[in-house]
Amino acid sequence: MDAKDLLPGYEQTLPVLSRPSAAAWAADPIHTPYAAPIHFDPNSVQTVTEAPTAPPPPPPPPPPPPPPPPPTASSRKTTTRVRKPRKNNNASTGKSTLFWVNSDQQTAAAGTTDETLKRIRSHVMSEHNRKKRMESTEQYNKSKWKHSSSQPPTTNPGALVPAQPTRPSISSSASLSGSQISEERELEQVDELVTSTAVGYPAMQSASWEDCSFGGTMAYPAGPSAWSYVGQGANDPFNTGHTQLTDRMMRHLRVFLWDLTQEAHPLQTRYKPKLQAHWASLIQRDPAILHATICMATSNDAMRAGELPIRDPKQKRSQLVIDTFHHRGETIRLVNEGLSDPVKASSDVLIAAVSTLLTIEIASGNPDYLKIHLAGLRQMIALRKNFDDVPSDVRFQISWTDIRVACMAHAKPIFPFVRYTRPARLSLIPPNDDVALLSTSLFALLKIPGIFGETMPQIVYDLLELSWYAEWIKGNTGYKEFNEETEDYFNTEVLHVEYQLHTDRYTETGQVKGDNSIEGCTRLALLLFHNSAIWNFYPMVGQLLPKPIQALRIALEATIPSGLFALCRDLLLWLLFMGAACSLTMPSERAFFVSELANAARLQGIHSWQEARSILLGFFYVDRIHLPMLRQIWDECHLQVEPPAV
């Protein structure tokens, strides 16, 4: 909207602003609404159609001008409406200070100059904007909206007009066309508003106000909250993941990525970042593996706190147990949804989720239940080309779970093991003289025909080399400069040696060889050493993996009275020590092993733990793990051999 549209015949008049009295203002015809017909006063208005190039000298007083002809079309917009004639009583109230400059010849010549037209347009637009702001302020004050300091900025155009707390609200009768103000006090305040609009307030488009409505309350567009697009805390600030992570979920996930992944590879020194990146990529791809890894972390913490497995159904559940069952349920639900899709059923993420879920189920202590799920996992992998087609890290997780279930059930692993190729030119030596004595006595027994099978010497040699490498990494040598290929090889050898110890218990046709023999007892003792020196399972998780310990006790109970170890009493001493060291949390088995160890030490004439240590070093024994156990067990044996005097 411009001055031409708002004030018809604008080129004929130039207002001069000054404040008249209230009565003069009310009687002035300029204050009548613009929508009313406007008539020209023949005594006060003279039409000027063309501006001279230079103002003429002041002429003598002219006679009364004739009535102006009707406006003709020109380059500027004109109107055929004439201004309403001025009332006669205006003279009695005093001369209005808002007069028309064309009423005298002196100012008529300057009425159409650019500067004058600019002033006209400025005045008209300021009046128009003032009345719009007055109406907006009135409606805004009526709505009684209370803005607080934390109120977000509104996108409504009305918010661009600042409030005037020191000025009273304008009457609701104000409109875009004009308003009737009769009080002088209100006139003064409106005049201040007019003079201030030229500086502070931007011009508004009338359409922006006509489209707005204020029905008593400030209306905001309905839509989602801004916080719905933002993640919680610093975990996922832009909410880009498939699942919003709470702080507690993120703590559990951090335990899995930083702690449990490292424990799954006990001999790694530089593989941790790659392992974390692998699991992080799986977690970002599917929510099933996300909940599975969180559940693994919570169940691990609950097991360490003694809250899992649940022994008392009436016991109050802690937050760890609640989180474990919640994320376990979410994992099962998401896995079932994924299995309904033939393409996703054999995907890496779903196989990893099921394998992780099986690892969690180990805490239940039910191996038969785990075998059913392992069979289902085998069917999922059968949809792939072969077991080698599964990514190496996922395959490692599957083999780890398979071997743990075999240890729980004292059974044969289900999945085949994919062994890494031994690095070329790999040469390993023991880190110290004590470690160099490992298995020297056992190798002498391996050479005796008929005692051990064909595969046992290779298993013993692989375990010996693995023990040397473990002492280089875990011991106090400080040497950890093996290359990445060597590290990857020995990290998989940890599982391969244990896999061999489980499968060697069975014949090629799947028949159990039996444990009531020197080879059977030695195989069980090697498994206990592996799970205590390489893995840190025993003695802490003896109640979760009790079958090897119980099998060794049953085998020794059957073979010791028969004199099977009469020619190899050093081997019997080592077998009993390994059983006693790993059965710390199993009182009945612990009592048997300590009692038999005390009898064997007395028969061999061993009177100190130092003598016992020198014998144990010839088999599989490391001071890093077993020396504190040896001294504790020897104290118990000494009390049984020589009871305290009364």
pLDDT, tens digit (0-9, with 9 covering 90-100), for 77-86: 444 455 555 5
Same domain, 443 and 369: no
pLDDT of residue 4: 46
Q: Residue 98: is its pLDDT beyond 80?
A: no
Same domain, 262 and 183: no
Same domain, 404 and 478: no
Instruction: Please enumerate in sequence order all residues whose Cβ is within 8 A of that of 406, keeping only pairs 6 or more positions apart, or say none.
Output: 412, 413, 414, 502
Q: How many CA atoms lie within 13 A of 238 on its CB side?
A: 1
pLDDT of residue 236: 62
Q: How confident is the model at residue 246 (pLDDT cuts 50, 70, 90)?
A: confident
Same domain, 97 and 61: yes
Q: How confident is the model at residue 44 (pLDDT cuts 50, 70, 90)?
A: very low
Which of 131-140, 168-177, 393-402, 580-589 reaches the highest mean pLDDT? 580-589
Q: Is 397 domain-assigned?
A: yes
Range of the domain at 603: 433-641
Q: Is 457 domain-assigned?
A: yes
Q: Both tokens of residue 266?
A: 């006990």
* Phi-psi sector, 423: left (phi>0), alpha (psi -120 to 50), beta: beta
Pick from 473, 501, 499, 498: which is nearest to 486 by CA?
473
Q: Residue 646: is its pLDDT beyond 60?
A: no
Q: How many CB atoms lie within 10 A of CB 114?
A: 8
Same domain, 337 and 464: no
Q: How many CB atoms lie within 10 A of CB 183?
A: 10
Q: How confident is the model at residue 492 (pLDDT cuts 50, 70, 90)?
A: very high
Same domain, 50 and 191: yes
Q: How many CB atoms lie within 10 A of CB 174?
A: 22
Same domain, 403 and 326: yes
Out of 183, 210, 237, a domain closes at 210
Instruction: Please enumerate in sequence order all residues whose Cβ is within 8 A of that of 602, keeping only pairs 6 or more positions apart, or say none.
Output: 641
Average pLDDT over all residues of the chain: 75
Residues 561-570 have a mean pLDDT of 94
Out of 190, 210, 230, a domain closes at 210
Same domain, 200 and 257: no
Q: Is 239 domain-assigned?
A: no
pLDDT of residue 64: 53
Give the single-character DSSP code of 506: B
Same domain, 384 and 439: no
Instruction: Give yes or no for a cis peptide into 68 (omega within 30° of 0).
Output: no
Number of separate domains in the chain = 3
Same domain, 69 and 132: yes
Q: Is 274 domain-assigned?
A: yes
Q: Is 217 domain-assigned?
A: no
d(CA 418, CA 347): 19
Same domain, 33 and 167: yes
Rg (CA), the chain: 49
Please check whether residue 462 is in contact with residue 470, taking contact to mean a CB–CB distance below 8 angstroms.
Answer: no
Instruction: Please state the pTM of the whole predicted model.
Output: 0.62
Q: Residue 645: is its pLDDT beyond 60?
A: no
Same domain, 440 and 525: yes
More confident residue, 332 or 15: 332
Q: Residue 13: is its pLDDT beyond 70?
A: no
Residues 199-224 have a mean pLDDT of 42
Q: How confident is the model at residue 60 (pLDDT cuts 50, 70, 90)?
A: low
Q: Is 79 domain-assigned?
A: yes
Q: How confident is the model at residue 218 (pLDDT cuts 50, 70, 90)?
A: very low
Out of 354, 376, 409, a domain closes at 409
Q: Is 58 domain-assigned?
A: yes
**How many Å separate Cα 181 from the centre of its chain?**
62
Burial class for 135, CB neighbours closer than 10 Å (0-12, 13-18, 19+): buried
The C-alpha angle with vertex 416 and arms to 413 and 422, in degrees rounded to 5, equals 120
Give the single-character DSSP code of 69: P
Please check whether residue 331 is in contact with residue 291, taking contact to mean a CB–CB distance below 8 angstroms.
Answer: yes
Residues 276-288 have a mean pLDDT of 91
pLDDT of residue 53: 43
Q: How confident is the model at residue 385 (pLDDT cuts 50, 70, 90)?
A: confident
- Residue 100, SS3? strand
Q: Both tokens of residue 270?
A: 């530089």
